[in-house]
Amino acid sequence: MRFGFHISIAGGFSRIIERALKKKCRTIQFFSRNPRGWAYKELDGDEVTSFSKALSSTSIAPVFVHMPYLPNLASPDDGLYQRSVDSLGEDLRRAELLQASCLIVHVGHRGDTSEGEGLERVSQSINTAFAAMPNGIRLLLENTAGQGTEIGYTFMQLKKIVAGVSDRARMGICLDTAHAFESGYDLSTEKGLEKTLDEFEKLIGFKKLCLLHFNDSKTPLGSHADRHWHIGEGFIGRDGFRRMVNHPLLSSVPGIMETPRTTDKEDLMNMKVISSLVKE
């Protein structure tokens, strides 16, 4: 299994690979722009070239781009919805330029609409963005913890979104372990893991599972409170992650960690822990 982290783009894309190697990454994820704002500049050609050159000198793969936080593809507000669709199209374009294979998106909040309306709105937004940007980038729906009016916290909901997309071959899933646990999927026990994987296979299929976000949970099973924690130190625990990283259905899926950090020390700690759980 290839492990990596979400890497900061502060100072430019040319610094990504240096940071990734320092953290011992074999796969990476990053934003293509400021994740907490709508405004963005066109990608700097020299920066992209520098990043591409540095990437080609390593065995780091695959590369994932993550959408910013502000877009809400389920929004009932027409203005925010259209802005979100446009943002998705722009990140599909940028992901291709940055040699990513996939773009990860948070499913969104339905607001005061029904679950069904929210799910349908997400599918429609993806259809619009795919039509506007018909490239080869695969879009990965990231499951949520189900906070407030969040949708996308059950496999059935994710299935319904994918079913509503015309070009389903471009769709995939990013399974966040903390979100799954917090939404009620018990990944801390062997029985719970097998039950979770069985449901995923029946509803979605492992061919759609393109990425794992390896995060422990600071909150209990079914809390619906999104709180990432260090590998093995939360409610999923080391045994839970040991079973996941060695499971034959998951061992070939890349894993990105989004664990808390103040310095590289925490990232290196989490990399050491998760790597130590892999059986040779």
As annotated, the active-site residues are: 36, 66, 69, 106, 142, 176, 179, 213, 226, 228, 258
H-state helical runs in the chain? 16-22, 45-56, 78-97, 115-132, 155-163, 177-183, 190-203, 237-245, 264-276
**Cα–Cα distance for residue pair 110/224, rounded to 1 Å:** 16
Query: Would the CA dihedral through 67, 69, 71, 74 be positive or negative?
Result: positive
d(CA 204, CA 198): 10
Taking a C-beta distance cutoff of 8 angstroms, is the pair 161, 141 a contact? yes
CA nearest to 155, candidates 144, 167, 171: 144
- In the three-class reduction of DSSP (H, G, I as helix; E, B as strand; rest coil), residue 176 is classed as strand
